[in-house]
Amino acid sequence: MALVRAARKTSSSYTCRYCRHHVFLSFRGQDTRKTFTDHLYTALVNAGFRTFRDDDEVQRGEGIKPELQKAIKHSRTSVIVFSKDYASSTWCLEELVMILERKRISADHVVLPVFYDVDPSDVRKQTGSLAKAFARHQRSQPSNKLMGNFFPTTLFYLYSIAVMFEIFFSFGLQLFRHESKFINKIVQVIGEKLRRRPLSVPHRMIGMHSRVNELNLWLQDGSDEVGILVIYGMSGIGKTTIAKSVYNTNFERFEGSSFIENIREISQQPNGLVQIQIQLLSDILIGRKVKIHCVSEGMTEIEDAISSKRVFLVLDDVDHISQLDVVLGMKDQFYPGSKIIITTRRARLLKVHQVTKVHTVQTLDNKESLELLSWHAFGRDHPIEDYIEYSEKLVDHCGGLPLALQVLGSSLLGESIGVWKSALEKLKAIPNGEIVNKLRVSYDSLQDDHDRKLFLHIACFFIGKDKDYIVKILDGCDFYTIVGIQNLIDRCLVTIDEFDKVHMHDLICGMGREIVHQESEEPWKRSRGWHHKDSFKILSENNVRNMCYMYTYMFSFL
């Protein structure tokens, strides 16, 4: 029972944040150390995989060495070279238990059994060399009841893994005429397993689980329809986080998968659309490199790749139809059952390419917001008692935007109440720079200065005003207000409620006013003035130009 307790004792730490090794090799040294395992190790290293093998030829003791336990814990895959005398070694069996416990605790740990000159049915039926090995163990340790039940059960579990992945059908040495082909196949499969791995997501998905579950149901409905789903919402609201979580849960259900992040940013780089196509093909083809010289050539290659297998694609941060055309221009060629998820801030993209479902991401409610802020500011799910009032004020300021809650919560981690109070006062006058820069992406992506000026006018003067009133005022100032407002809605910068009032998230409004504020330190040199203190400074200057400025840019909008 000591072995079982040891495995359970270390299980809680098996899900490690980093991995030192790509591959951990488990083998019977007397059988294959200087032959098959040595060749396999060399091939893995030459392929670029950090591979751990125990080269210690010293007489082994009764228990597994701590460094071996750490190596198993910090490896992404374990390759078990199951040779004829593998089960003869108590050491190997204990090592196997640790590997399978690592697999049980961490689902993304890959275990690859390699049946080297062994019939897999011997493992399933506990016959042949295995039966002889267990008989020897029982004769040498007659009091060890585990040997009669625990290890045979463990080996049957190993066989079940092999069946699930159909490993022994690929790796059975009897199916290969040469060991070199056998080893190349192992290296190839390891490469495929390592490349298809989960993406990094926050440890705490506050308020996201119901959204993720809804999308999982859509992906797992068993339909042969080629489905396109759009995740839509403003910057910083959690679209990419939701998409990553859904991807992690589902990518192994498909024959090919790809998550392409920051498409908007990549597409702006030289030959950016081609780079997107190259990454997508590399992912779907599991590492095989395809040379592409132009977008049209890439579309031909993609059409060939997607027509023969069910694929799952996530296209993150798409903001223009051209970025979709290079991938989805051949939608009818997708293999039945393929699924595509798109994240975007652009409402117009909801109407293109036969979108089958739209998921609009809403801001967090107050309870969710307070919990998310608390994890980042206090390391727990609720505020410290003395900080409750200030936490609630900060939640109000963030307006349910996860980005703001994370940024501001982390910035105040470990700070005194005095610092919290001062930070809240500062935020009333000066928005947080990191949040402004994230939100400004939508403003900068507006198509022209006309729409950018219109956005700044609304942010400074017209929040909560009736749409027709705004149109009447700004059309008189040579704006094309109706189409301009529609462009702002398209970028998630403004919304219109059921009473035809124009609204803007408080942080987006703050971002707009900060853009104006940064035009100059002197209020009279800025393009707009809305704050009473700035207005007084402007009016107190004995300057006709300043007076005209105020009448033009402030009083005319009252």
Q: Distance (Å, rounded) from C-alpha 163 to C-alpha 113?
A: 10
Quickly count helices (H) and strands (E) in the chain.
27, 11
Of the candidates 445, 539, 436, 532, the residue with the CA atom closest to the CA atom of residue 487: 445
HSE (side-chain half, CA atoms, 13 Å) at 38: 8
- Residue 523 carries which DSSP code? G
Give CA angle at 328 (325, 331), nearest 5°. 135
Helix (H, G, I), strand (E, B) or coil at 282: helix
Tokens of 557: 């909008």
Tokens of 450: 């006309």
Give yes or no for a contact between 425 and 416, defined as CB atoms under 8 angstroms apart: no
Give yes or no for a contact between 464 and 501, defined as CB atoms under 8 angstroms apart: yes
Count the neighbouring beta carbons within 10 Å of the beta carbon of residue 542.
Answer: 7
Helix H, strand E, coil C: the string for 373-397 is HHHHHHCCCCCCHHHHHHHHHHHHH
Of the candidates 93, 103, 105, 192, the residue with the CA atom closest to the CA atom of residue 152: 93
Tokens of 184: 């190349």
Kindly list the catalytic residues.
Answer: 95
HSE (side-chain half, CA atoms, 13 Å) at 121: 0
HSE (side-chain half, CA atoms, 13 Å) at 455: 33
Q: How many residues does this entry show for the chain? A: 558
Beta strands 51-52 and 110-115 are unpaired
Give yes or no for a contact between 5 and 94, defined as CB atoms under 8 angstroms apart: no
